[in-house]
Structure 1
Amino acid sequence: MMTEFFMPMIPPTATHQEKQVSCKNDKPVFYEPADLKAARAKLMAHLGQHVPAKKYKGALRVIVKWLFPIKDGSKHYDGEWKITKPDTHNLNKLPFDIMTELGYWTDDAIVASEIIEKFWANRPGIYIRIEEL
């Protein structure tokens, strides 16, 4: 089984690492700031359209290409590697958690191989390919 799709959108830059903590009754309470909540909602809406008919259960390779928009007047070009934040290892945490929640797989721990790339692009979005190993 293999799943492959492209989600045309301006990729969110808020990452799972932006969770905040406060204290209530001397106990830590974790919460998501507004930009992270918005990123979660955006990804949930887009990823919800591509849930596979059957959950993946075995070892997987997941390829994710993050295509960030080129702003007017920018010196970047289509396909240029993006070497600024957010970091690739932080980008995938939120979508993988959402994909687990939506039922793409039993647990994202079964992802044994990840290829994460980020580029500047004329057509922004997120490309995802899931392959059984």
Structure 2
Amino acid sequence: MEEEIVITSSSIDDGIGCWDLQTGTEHLRYKSCASPPHDLISVGRRFLASSQLQDPKASSGAILYWSWSRPQVEVKCFPEEPIKPLVANSEGTYLVGGGLSGNIYFWEVGFLALSLVFNLLFVCFNQLKLVV
């Protein structure tokens, strides 16, 4: 049986908490995740990704990646604008983020490099959903 965990983050508390769902014991506390608007997702059960906005007046944001076994940020990505919602496909091969300007950013996770940008001319995205 696979272990089930609960992952939480807060815009006030610095860090991401990870607890065992059955016992309530804390596994790890991932660092560097205090940001007012942000999203936190599991990418294909391989790692965690979070969109970050360090300063609400900033013209760019960051996407941080953590492996399941280390509490420190392993990879940082800096898109040209702040990203709010994130979504990944179930295999964890693609990561999609919605920019404040209405742009959609598409990354291939294996390369951790930005692959495509779609300008949809909408206002800020609050939620994204992948439908296959």
Q: Which has the higher contact order (CA 8 A, sep 6+)?
A: 1
After TM superposition, the score normalised by the length of structure 1 is 0.24
After TM superposition, the score normalised by the length of structure 2 is 0.24
Structure number with larger C-alpha Rg: 1
User: Where is the strand percentage greater, Structure 1 or Structure 2?
Assistant: 2
